[in-house]
């Protein structure tokens, strides 16, 4: 199949097909027209010239990482750095891209013809089949590949606070809607552990990383009838906000309220008090994904998922 076949099937010009597939800037293509082109591409199983060039060269050494719609945190950045370094040692290059209304996975794949696609979010079944038929390896970069789900992080937080003698616990969530899925999984793990340990339902507050929000969250925890003595947070940034709100309220950790975060951000050890947190082994994540992608590209057996030293409790002075 050629671009001309796609143009004929979509009822557009070959130039329009090129504009759509290459996402040519400064070209305004109506959404209905763009959709007709994409549908024709899928129906005809059209492979772009970029893919053909890669086949002639033997292999394209580009790995496309489709970033999730999450804030680019330090934790995610560390994973990306490790993947980048691991791939570079194998002669592969990592390209980061976000999808959007004018940038679909299929259009990026056709334009770039990567050797592999790395993604966190689920891929449309039809798109996945088309990409695989095109000879591109797909690596789902899910933390669950390690036998770990986000609920385990929340459970570890709860168990640590209980081990410190706390029985009335709270949880501070991020109010960022882009983090809803991770928020929910971590909280459900925390909540489940609390109930399994015979504790009451944990109190919850939402924090938006402003001082006013942090102060309101601290007040919400301290005036609750549950008389919360310890709080787990979605991540270290939320924990830092809670500690800042506590200072304004004249409270100290862990005397008035113990606080535990997640991610072991660089600033965690320098906070006052130093922050207790759950560390995720991002170096292990990145190394594993790089090995897995390289193996998939070369048709080799992928490495086993690492099971040890992935999560670690880092105890400091805030609990």
Kindly report, residue by residue over 63-88, the tens digit of the pLDDT.
Answer: 999 887 777 777 778 888 888 998 88
User: What percent of the chain stands above pLDDT 90?
Assistant: 41
Mean pLDDT of the 90-95 span: 88
The residue behind tokens 């919360």 is 228
- The C-alpha atoms of residue 198 and residue 200 are separated, in whole angstroms, by 7
**CA 237 from centroid of its chain's CA atoms:** 16
User: Contact 314/278 with Cβ under 8 angstroms?
Assistant: yes
For 8, phi then psi, to 5°, come to -65, -45
Mean pLDDT of the 139-168 span: 82
Q: Residue 266 gets which letter from DSSP?
A: G
Which residue, among 251, 80, 304, 71, has the nearest Cα to 175 in the 3D structure?
A: 71
Q: What's the token pair of residue 39?
A: 């549908």
Q: Residues near 148 by Cβ (< 8 Å), separated by ≥ 6? A: 310, 311
Whether the CA torsion 142, 77, 205, 274 is positive or negative: it is positive
pLDDT at 146 over 60: no
**Position 192 confidence tier, pLDDT thresholds 50, 70, 90:** very high
Q: Residues near 311 by Cβ (< 8 Å), separated by ≥ 6? A: 148, 152, 153, 156, 278, 279, 280, 281
**Position 261 confidence tier, pLDDT thresholds 50, 70, 90:** very high
Q: What is the pTM of this model?
A: 0.74
Q: Count CB neighbours of 14 within 10 A.
A: 14
Mean pLDDT of the 103-114 span: 84
Q: What's the token pair of residue 14?
A: 């070959």
**Position 141 confidence tier, pLDDT thresholds 50, 70, 90:** low
State which H helix or E strand residue 65 sits in.
strand 62-66
Average predicted confidence (pLDDT) for the chain = 85
Q: What is the pLDDT of residue 24?
A: 63
Q: What is the pLDDT of residue 82?
A: 87
Q: What is the pLDDT of residue 223?
A: 77
Q: What is the pLDDT of residue 282?
A: 76
**Position 239 confidence tier, pLDDT thresholds 50, 70, 90:** very high
- The C-alpha atoms of residue 37 and residue 72 are separated, in whole angstroms, by 32
The residue behind tokens 């709270």 is 170
For 201, phi then psi, to 5°, come to -55, 130
pLDDT at 51 over 60: no
**CA 181 from centroid of its chain's CA atoms:** 10
Q: Where are the alpha helices (DSSP H) in the chain?
A: 3-10, 14-22, 31-44, 49-57, 74-88, 105-112, 125-133, 150-163, 180-196, 211-222, 236-248, 282-297
pLDDT at 47 over 80: no
User: Contact 154/191 with Cβ under 8 angstroms?
Assistant: yes
Counts for the chain of helices (H) and strands (E), in that order: 12, 10
pLDDT at 186 over 90: yes
Q: What is the pLDDT of residue 101?
A: 72
Mean pLDDT of the 114-143 span: 82
Q: How far is CA 183 from CA 56, 111, 141, in A?
A: 46, 35, 18
**Position 309 confidence tier, pLDDT thresholds 50, 70, 90:** low
Q: Count CB neighbours of 278 within 10 A.
A: 23
């Amino acid at each position: 199949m050629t671009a001309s076949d796609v143009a004929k099937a979509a009822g557009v010009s070959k130039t329009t097909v090129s504009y759509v597939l290459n996402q040519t800037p400064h070209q305004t293509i109506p959404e209905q027209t763009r959709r007709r082109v994409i549908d024709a591409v899928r129906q005809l199983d059209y492979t772009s010239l970029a893919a053909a060039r890669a086949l002639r060269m033997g292999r394209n050494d580009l790995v496309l990482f489709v970033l999730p719609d999450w804030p680019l945190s330090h934790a995610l950045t560390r994973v990306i750095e490790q993947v980048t370094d691991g791939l570079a040692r194998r002669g592969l290059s990592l390209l980061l891209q976000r999808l959007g209304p004018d940038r679909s996975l299929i259009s990026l794949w056709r334009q770039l013809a990567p050797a592999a696609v790395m993604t966190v979010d689920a891929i449309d079944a039809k798109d996945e089949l088309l990409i695989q038929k095109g000879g591109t390896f797909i690596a789902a970069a899910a933390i669950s590949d390690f036998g770990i789900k986000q609920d385990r992080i929340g459970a570890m937080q709860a168990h640590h606070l209980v081990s410190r003698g706390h029985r009335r616990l709270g949880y501070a969530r991020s109010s960022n809607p882009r983090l809803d899925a991770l928020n929910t999984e971590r909280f459900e793990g925390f909540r489940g552990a609390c109930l399994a340990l015979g504790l009451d339902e944990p109190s919850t507050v939402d924090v938006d990383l402003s001082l006013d929000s942090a102060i309101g969250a601290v007040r919400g925890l301290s005036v609750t009838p549950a008389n919360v003595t310890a709080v787990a947070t979605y991540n270290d940034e939320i924990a830092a906000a809670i500690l800042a709100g506590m200072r304004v309220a004249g409270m100290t950790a862990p005397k008035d309220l113990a606080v535990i975060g997640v991610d072991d951000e660089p600033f965690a050890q320098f906070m006052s008090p130093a922050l207790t947190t759950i560390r995720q082994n991002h170096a292990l994540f990145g190394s594993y994904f790089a090995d897995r992608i390289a193996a998939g590209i070369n048709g080799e057996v992928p490495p086993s998922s690492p099971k040890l030293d992935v999560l670690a409790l880092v105890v400091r002075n805030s609990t």
